[in-house]
Amino acid sequence: MVTPNIRSLADATNRDLKNRFRNRVIGAPKSAVPRFELYHAGASLCSHKVRTVLAEKEIPYFSHDMNLPGLALGVPENYRPSYVRLRMQGAVGATLVRAYSGRSSLSTEGFDPCVVPTLVDHEKSRVVIDSSRICKYLDEEAGTGPVLIPEALGEEVERQIALVDEAPHVALLYGAHPDGDRRPRLIVRGMTGIQNKKIKALESQIALVQNDPVLVSAYQSKISKESESLRFVSEPKRMNEVLREMEEHVAELDQHLSTHDGPWVCGERFTLADIVWTTSLFRMKWIGIGRFWEEDKGRCRVAGYANLAFQRPSFRHAVIDWPNAYAPSPYVPEFSTPLAWPRFFWRVLRSARG
């Protein structure tokens, strides 16, 4: 069996990624050749986690901020065969995704070959997929910055990561809120019919790889998932269940915060648990359900925690200030100013250029 050349696969992927604003070295001189390459997307919740870890630990990396469905002017970059081939090296033998539950975790959904993030470690010639696995890998391997999974807190940090992984964030973005759609208006428009657009783009890629049964199977699994997604988010009963789960998600955090006096999820020390919870809460606030802790006075611990966590410099760099991480939203001060819309569209136009 021939061992794939990870560098060659990455180089092939990179030839399809030409935009200088979205493909650049972060945390090192432009001429540097960092150990890590990250294929991610501004708006991807899972990418938010990984970028925050990279910022918190001050790890230099080559950033490939990929155009996902909804922003791509052609076929989304994460659907192209070169990227899918590279990503599949991180999940050899894994079960391909076909069903849909509104989640995105590898452990619950199976392997999606056409999403982000994907990390390449050139020093070890290794591809790592799934945001939780990538975050843990960087914490173990990078050798810089604070340890985000301290040995003494390891079990609790892992438990908190699993809680966030199992929350149905994806359905929350793609599906209408049955009791009145609170999502930002650009998202409502962009998500309407998005699954059919994805399927059409995936079918166009199948036509290019007919002689590669592995890639054909990968694309077909993704099509099955998107077909299931359309049915799932169209059912008010399921979306009501999603909202109920997300409120329980917040209640779980509030109860846990009551068990100690420290400012962070695991007490006095900032850990990977804080990174994943911060990305989760911010997405909820941006999408219009921050009321689960902002209007419920019984969850004041979550309110205080969120206010502190959103100001963490690494999170602000990797999410709040990251180009195209979020569209304007009336629920978030940073994205509801008079200049929010012009700034957003300027960034989109700049990112769309080759």
Q: What is the CATH number of the domain that holds 162?
A: 1.20.1050.130
Among 285, 284, 272, 344, CA closest to 312: 272
User: In the chain, pLDDT over 90 holds for what percent of residues?
Assistant: 85
Residue 177 lies in a domain: yes
Domains contained in the chain, number: 1
Residue 151 lies in a domain: yes
Q: What's the rounded Cα separation, in Å, for the pair 128 and 137? A: 8
Task: Specify the pLDDT at position 3.
Answer: 62
Give the predicted TM-score (pTM) of the model. Answer: 0.96
What is the SS3 string spanning 306-346?
HHHHCCCHHHHHHHHCCCCCCCCCCCCHHHCCCCHHHHHHH
Tens-place pLDDT, residues 172-230? 999 988 888 999 998 999 999 999 999 999 999 999 999 999 999 999 999 999 999 99
Q: What's the rounded Cα separation, in Å, for the pair 182 and 345? A: 22
Tens-place pLDDT, residues 327-350? 999 999 999 998 888 988 888 777
Where is mean pLDDT largest: 4-8, 52-56, 296-300?
Answer: 52-56
Q: What's the rounded Cα separation, in Å, for the pair 93 and 88? A: 9
Calculate the CA 272 to chain-centre distance: 15
| Weakest mean pLDDT among 258-262, 287-291, 324-328, 340-344 | 340-344
* CB 76, CB 49: distance < 8 Å: no
Q: In 194-219, which positions are buried (b, 16+ CB within 10 angstroms) versus exposed (e)? A: bbebbbebbeebbeebeeeeebeebb
Q: How many CB atoms lie within 10 A of CB 289?
A: 20
Domain containing 154 equals: 6-352
Residue 1 lies in a domain: no
Pairing assessment for the beta strands 61-65 and 36-40 based on DSSP bridges: parallel
Range 111-138 average pLDDT: 97
What average pLDDT is seen over the chain?
94
Task: Specify the pLDDT at position 285.
Answer: 97
Q: What's the rounded Cα separation, in Å, for the pair 315 and 278? A: 8
Cα distances (Å, whole numbers) of residue 237 to 99, 195, 242, 290, 314: 18, 19, 9, 21, 38
Main-chain dihedrals φ then ψ at residue 210, nearest 5 degrees: -55, -25
Long-range contacts of the stretch 192-196 (C-beta < 8 A, 24+) = 194/69, 194/70, 195/226, 195/227, 195/229, 195/230, 196/230
Task: Specify the pLDDT at position 1.
Answer: 43
Runs of H (alpha helix) within the chain: 6-14, 45-56, 81-88, 106-109, 131-141, 154-165, 169-174, 185-191, 194-206, 213-233, 236-257, 272-287, 291-294, 300-309, 313-315, 340-352
Residue 186 lies in a domain: yes
Tell me: pLDDT of 297 over 90.
Answer: no
Residue 42 lies in a domain: yes
Amino acid at 346: W
Residue 239 lies in a domain: yes
| Weakest mean pLDDT among 55-64, 66-75, 133-142 | 66-75
Task: Specify the pLDDT at position 325.
Answer: 94
Residue 96 lies in a domain: yes
Residue 106 lies in a domain: yes
